[in-house]
Amino acid sequence: MKTVFVPAYDTEAPGACLRACERIAEVHRAMDVPATFFVVGKLLLGEERAPYRRLLGDARFEIASHSMNHALLRDHPALEAPGVAWAQVEDEVRRSKGVIEDAFGRPCTGFRTPCAFVDGLGAGRLPELVAACGYAYSSSTGWGPKYSLPVPVQPAYAYEDCPKLWEFPAHGWHENVLKGHNATPGRYLLWPPVYPDHVVTRFVRTPEEEFAVHRYFIDKAVALGAEYATPIWHPWSLGKFDPEMRMLRLVFEYVRSRGMGFATFEQLRARKPAAPVPAAA
């Protein structure tokens, strides 16, 4: 199986994400690269609805849910913050799907929890809710052991209690943390590290340095024979650091130079069996 690269964007900040998406969409169109945008539903209720429809309505872009209001759906050990009440969790998951489908006129099959968790949606009622709302996959695993970074390359798996629901873990770094846009220095590094040959000793300073970090995980995914590689990108943070999106071009050129393809998460999900066998414990 040839490893593919999945460009995915957590699209969540009013104003800044939309401005960055102008340039991001342009790079994707120019280079003919698909993408998955996990969009916060409330962005599609106001004045940004029309520009987002225009920018991301292209069939090459998958629009998935990043909740309704970017609320924490579970207690978060790394952020030391509590999850919202269950009634709001239900609303965040269910209503965002409807808002996205209404805005873009096609099914929204994917869900990504705000801030991600080491075990994705966890067990019990949250994966059950996500499946019951009609989502086919989640991509909510975004931390390494003990809520460290980077996230190791790990394969997609089915939720034990909801075998129809797939989880596609992200890999590598939350790029906003790499740049110090959101970071609590000293909190995220594991010792001994999962990948001793990958050490980031300071915040990245240039798009080229950022590219080198993502390249490590692309190479790692290929070396491991992984189905896909996907870092955690945020339009607002990409735009703040690299408004021309040079890093995106470097990554996409590198992916091509390695003979790899691109995919959206929904494309990966569509080729999975309907009722997968749960991952072995």
Contacts of 18 (CB under 8 A, 6+ apart): 43, 48, 51, 52, 55, 235
Distance CA 24, CA 35 (A): 10
Question: Which residues contact Zn ion (rule: CB under 5 A)?
Answer: 10, 12, 114
Ordered alpha helix ranges (H), 48-152? 49-56, 86-104, 125-132
Residue 186's closest CA among 217, 212, 148?
A: 148
Residue 66 CB, nearest approach to Zn ion (Å): 6
Q: Smallest distance from the beta carbon of 13 to Zn ion, in angstroms?
A: 9
Strands (E), 156-206: 157-158, 166-167
User: Closer to Zn ion at the Cβ: 37 or 252?
Assistant: 37
Residue nearest to Zn ion (CB): 10
Please tell me whether residue 281 adopts helix, strand or coil conformation: coil
Minimal distance, residue 115 CB to Zn ion, in Å: 6
**Which residue, 4 or 43, has its beta carbon nearer to Zn ion?**
43
The sign of the torsion formed by the CA atoms of 95, 99, 105, 106 equals negative
10 or 62: whose CB is closer to Zn ion? 10
Nearest to 158 by CA among 169, 149, 148, 150: 169
Q: How far is the CB of 219 from Zn ion (least distance, A)?
A: 26
Cβ-based nearer residue to Zn ion, 10 or 48: 10
Residue 235 beta carbon to Zn ion: minimum distance, rounded to whole angstroms: 11
The half-sphere exposure of 161 on its side-chain side, counting CA atoms within 13 A, is 12
Cis status of the peptide bond prior to 185, with omega within 30 of 0: no
CB of 167 to Zn ion, least distance (A): 17
Q: b/e per residue, 222-238, with b = 16+ CB within 10 A?
A: beeebbbbbbbbbbbbb
Nearer to Zn ion, 41 or 114 (CB): 114
Is the Cβ of residue 37 or residue 227 nearer to Zn ion in the bound state? 37
Alpha-helical regions (H) of 57-146: 86-104, 125-132
SS3 32: coil
User: Least Å distance between CB 259 and Zn ion?
Assistant: 32
Q: How far is the CB of 21 from Zn ion (least distance, A)?
A: 14
Nearer to Zn ion, 114 or 239 (CB): 114
Q: Closest CB to Zn ion among 12 and 175?
A: 12
